[in-house]
Amino acid sequence: LPQYSTLTLNCPVPSSVDNLRLGSGSGDRSFISCSGECWAMNKFIAIHRVVRPYQSLFNVVRRHSSMVTQLYYSPSSCGAASFICAQKAGLIGSKVEASEVDIQSKKVLSGPATGKDYFAINPKGNVPAIVLDDHTLINENISSLAWIADQNPSAELSPPKSSTRYYEFLSKLSYLASEVHSSCAPIFKPTTPEDVKEFMRTKIKSKLDFLSKHELSGGNQYLLGDKVTAADIYFYIILTWMKHLKVDIGEYPVIKKYFENVASLEFVKAGHAKMASMSPSHKK
């Protein structure tokens, strides 16, 4: 298998190998450790000597470390919400590698798949997309944001999955995706007739009016009350498009205040800064 390398060694090991473990040292050094003195066999493998050594033959199968979860995003698209949340959860650079995608050309701009046709990774061609180390594709905002929140519950990007509030969280995400986000898409397309664009603007305004009067009413600071979740980051990113879509959020004071509040959160600002620093255009 191309993702594996096999090394066959003759070396002293204990009759019981229950306490052996495969680990990694500095640089390209890997090791199998148990108890006793360390014997370096070569620059790749070091074997620890035990009290009663004897000769044994065994294979060490080591999976390549490059097989890590990939997050595909675009800084100005809804995929930015997944990036910001993944950064908040401490996933970027540890459990997850982020790769920027050019939504127009459908080319991967950064990461291990740089230059690759994005359709070969995600046949839909949209972001966000998360490709797990077993090649499972997680796509669309609801599943992507829920997956990210699940990876680090302590980041509190969603309520506990065992609670009723978790299903409220999914309800907010679903409304944003099916009612608000979907109303924006046609306006972005240059081929959409102007009368259709105006109709969609009216629809967006009706959704903002609903959110203002019902979801963010009664002193609610965020969509689920006083605690920010991934749903708020998704809504915030959608609101960043309003100026381009020619929808004035100033007509909705509650929405405007909400937008400014979320934009001022330290982890949101840090997420934007991280995206900017990782962008290929920034590195040139």
Q: CA 85, CA 80: separation in Å to the nearest integer?
A: 9
pLDDT at 25 over 60: no
Which amino acid belongs to residue 231?
A
Tokens at 121, concatenated: 């990774």
In this structure, the strands spanning 129-131 and 69-73 are antiparallel
What is the predicted pLDDT for the residue at 265?
98
Name the DSSP letter for residue 222: B
Q: Which residue has the tokens 């620059």?
A: 43
* Helix 79-88 and helix 266-278, axial crossing angle in degrees, nearest 10: 110
What is the predicted pLDDT for the residue at 282?
60
Tokens at 194, concatenated: 């102007």
Q: CA 23, CA 31: separation in Å to the nearest integer?
A: 5
Asked if omega into 153 is within 30° of 0 (cis), the reply is: no
pLDDT in tens, 63-120: 334 458 999 999 999 999 999 999 999 999 999 999 999 999 999 999 999 999 999 9
pLDDT at 126 over 60: yes
pLDDT in tens, 147-203: 999 999 999 999 999 999 999 999 999 999 999 999 999 999 999 999 999 999 999
Domain layout of the chain by residue ranges: 4-63, 67-157, 158-273
Q: Do domains 67-157 and 158-273 have the same CATH topology?
A: no
At a CB cut-off of 8 Å and minimum separation 6, what does 269 contact?
A: 263
Q: Which CATH number fits domain 158-273: 1.10.3720.10, 3.60.10.10, 1.20.1050.10, 3.40.1360.10?
A: 1.20.1050.10
CATH superfamily of 67-157: Glutaredoxin (3.40.30.10)
Task: Give residue 218's pLDDT band: very low, low, confident or very high (50, 70, 90).
Answer: confident
pLDDT at 225 over 60: yes
Predicted TM-score (pTM) of the model is: 0.77
pLDDT in tens, 29-75: 333 333 333 333 343 333 334 333 434 333 333 333 445 899 999 99
User: Between these two residues, 251 and 21, which has the higher pLDDT value?
Assistant: 251
Task: Give residue 1's pLDDT band: very low, low, confident or very high (50, 70, 90).
Answer: very low
Q: Which residue has the tokens 């060694």?
A: 9
